[in-house]
Amino acid sequence: MLETNIKPSCLKPEIQAITYAGSGDFVHLYMQPPAWGYRPGQFVMVRPGEWGNDPVWPRPFSICEKTSDSLRLFIQVVGRGTSLISRLQPGSTLDMWGPLGNGFSFDPDVPLLILAGGMGIAPFIGLCKRHPHPGRINFLFGHRMGIECYPFAELPQKVNKTHLNQQTAGDIVSFQKVLEKRIRDFSGRGRILACGPSPFLKVVRKYSIESGADTWISLENRMACGVGACLGCVTGTTTGEYLQTCTHGPVFRADEVVFEEDDRLLSAKPHL
């Protein structure tokens, strides 16, 4: 599944359609397809043309799927930017650049365990649909909102898939237990790919390191440029460096990165 035509460019595509799933907060954005190919796990930066001077930043989104007809993003409204994007109309244009980042790398002949949390399902839709042997994919999906909000049903029939809803603290604990068991059982049998919110990835990382699993996680970080220039999206690594999530990632080997944000915030002291 090696794409050859991956050369990033900056385009101004038109929105073809916006559809909602489950609620107005879950948005499928379809736009004119770019000429480039992409690797699942890569992302694009999107900034509606009508934003003018505000908001300043574009927003990064995983590429959900690309067909000959359209490029599709799956977006949850979580703040001002995504809220404005969810209200765009077909025909309006976007500034969009990509494909960015490294994406997931895997051998299609080797079994995969995919672990997705919430919006982390987005890059795996295209991945599973394009995979030559979907029967070799095991898919575990954890979600907080109703399953109808997520494109889970689109996964190919042959994918061995499970989804677990977490609404209470008890659900989260039992989901973590399932995660632990799945990671330990799968370790040594193939590659694990994970995408989701940081607390979820922390758990995946922990059990992967403990069991020696070959796990790759895709990080979500706030980004301003997406091309490696602003240094606002860096992630700490076990070698003590800060690497740009946008260009060195967003996919990292689970034992390569450290999650430090929570601890750091607690001890924040001004430098002035």
Partner 1 sequence: MDLGVTLGALRLKNPIMTASGTFGYGLEFTSYGRLEELGAIVVKGLSLQPRKGNPMPRIAETPCGMLNAIGLQNIGVEKFLQEKLPRLPWKETPVVVNLYAQKAEEFADLAAVLGSEPGVGALEVNISCPNVRQGGLQFGQNPDAAVRVVEMVKKNAGQKPVIVKLSPNVADIKVIAGAVESAGADIISLINTIGGMAVDIRTRKPCLANAFGGLSGPAIKPVALKMVYEVCSTVKIPVIGLGGITSARDILEFILVGASAVQIGTATFTRPDKVFTLVNELRELVTQLEIEDWARFRGSLET
CA 30 – CA 18 distance, rounded (Å) = 6
271 scored as a contact of partner 1 (CB under 8 A) = yes
- H-helix or E-strand spanning residue 242: strand 242-244
d(CA 270, CA 71): 43
Sequence-distant (6+) residues with CB within 8 A of 163 are 140, 141, 142, 143, 147, 152
Task: Kindly state the number of chain residues that form the binding site for partner 1, as judged by CB under 8 A.
Answer: 43
Distance CA(195)–CA(87), nearest Å, equals 26
Single out the residue of 111, 206, 236, 253 in contact with partner 1 (rule: CB under 8 A).
Answer: 236
User: By CB under 8 A, is residue 164 in contact with partner 1?
Assistant: no
Position among 33, 227, 253, 256 found at the interface with partner 1 (CB under 8 A):
227
**Alpha carbon separation from 135 to 41, 61, 157, 178, 183 (Å, rounded):** 20, 27, 8, 21, 18
What is the x/- site pattern for partner 1, positions 54-73, by CB under 8 A?
xxxxx---------------
Candidates 5-13, 60-68, 197-205, 208-216 — which segment interacts with partner 1 by CB under 8 A?
5-13
4 sits near partner 1 (criterion: CB under 8 A): no
Binding test (CB under 8 A) with partner 1, winner from 4, 53, 157, 168? 53
Give the residue with the Cβ less far from partner 1, 89 or 267.
267
Judged by CB under 8 A, which of 133, 158, 181, 222 binds partner 1? 222
Q: How far apart are CA 195 and CA 122, in angstroms?
A: 9
- By CB under 8 A, residue 36 contacts partner 1: no
Q: Which is nearer to partner 1, 132 or 240 (CB)?
A: 240
User: Using the rule CB under 8 A, is 10 a contact of partner 1?
Assistant: yes
Distance between CA 5 and CA 7 in Å, rounded? Answer: 6
Provide φ and ψ at 71, rounded to 5°.
-105, 135
- Given the rule CB under 8 A, which residues bind partner 1? 7-10, 47, 51, 53-58, 81, 95, 97, 221-222, 224-236, 240-242, 247, 260-261, 264-265, 268-272
